[in-house]
C-alpha cells in the first residue's frame, strides 16, 4: 500500500532499472544510517544512482508534506 501511495500521490515511478519499492528500501537504509557506498554495494547500484534515488524519494516526501502531516 505504501508503494502504491508513493506512486499515486508522491509521483514516484518505476524505471527500466529500478522499481519504486527498491527506491523506498534504499531511502530506508539511509534512515538507519547506512552510507551511500554501503547501499550501492547492497543493491548493486553506483553511488551516484543511490544518491540520485534517495534525493528523488526525499523530494517526493517533501512535496507530500501537507498530505502526510
Query: Residue 65 pLDDT more than 90?
Result: no
Q: Which residue has the higher pLDDT, 68 or 49?
A: 49
Taking only the tens place, the pLDDT of each residue in 15-56 is 999 999 999 999 999 999 999 999 999 999 999 999 999 999
Torsion, Cα 31 35 39 45, to 10 degrees, reads: 130
In this predicted structure, what is the pLDDT of residue 68?
Answer: 72
In this predicted structure, what is the pLDDT of residue 69?
Answer: 73
State pTM to two decimals: 0.89
**At how many degrees (to 10) do helices 47-63 and 20-31 cross?**
90
Nearest to 27 by CA among 39, 13, 44, 18: 39
Q: Are 63 and 11 in contact (CB under 8 A)?
A: yes
Amino acid at each position: 500500500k505504501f508503494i502504491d501511495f508513493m506512486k499515486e500521490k508522491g509521483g514516484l515511478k518505476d524505471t527500466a532499472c529500478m522499481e519504486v519499492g527498491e527506491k523506498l528500501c534504499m531511502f530506508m537504509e539511509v534512515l538507519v544510517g547506512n552510507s551511500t557506498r554501503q547501499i550501492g554495494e547492497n543493491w548493486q547500484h553506483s553511488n551516484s544512482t543511490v544518491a540520485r534515488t534517495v534525493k528523488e524519494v526525499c523530494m517526493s516526501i517533501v512535496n507530500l508534506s501537507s498530505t502526510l502531516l
